[in-house]
Amino acid sequence: MDTLEQTIRKIKEFRDARDWMQFHSPKNLACSISIEANELLEHFQWTSLDESAITPEKKEAIAHEIADVGFYLIELADNLGINLIEAIAQKLAINEAKYPAEKVRGSAKKYTEYPQAPQ
């Protein structure tokens, strides 16, 4: 299987073979991430919260939408000189501090709803 670096290279080759960089401004890629995220969400629009209804066909369609979000997200990060893996590691460290495990365990409150939460 490819590494993330190989995936980045393939995405850029696909784009550049079509001369599409001219359309891939950060703003347009951010729009595209939202658009694809909502095509993904559409698969769950009317469903209940459990996943029992995911058939193999639906799973494949969902995988395609996940890929589309990932495609634009990885490209945007790369275009802006942001390393996705590193950005996630940094955000996880921030969230570790914002949401100490012993304080938030089992609760989905947003951290701003915790009186003493760091801002």
- Quote the least distance from Cβ 118 to its own copies, whole Å: 15
Residue closer to its own copies (CB basis): 50 or 116: 50
Residue closer to its own copies (CB basis): 83 or 118: 83
What does the alpha-carbon distance between residue 58 and residue 75 come to, in Å, rounded to a whole number?
26
Six token digits for residue 9: 């290279």
- Quote the least distance from Cβ 67 to its own copies, whole Å: 4
- Quote the least distance from Cβ 117 to its own copies, whole Å: 14
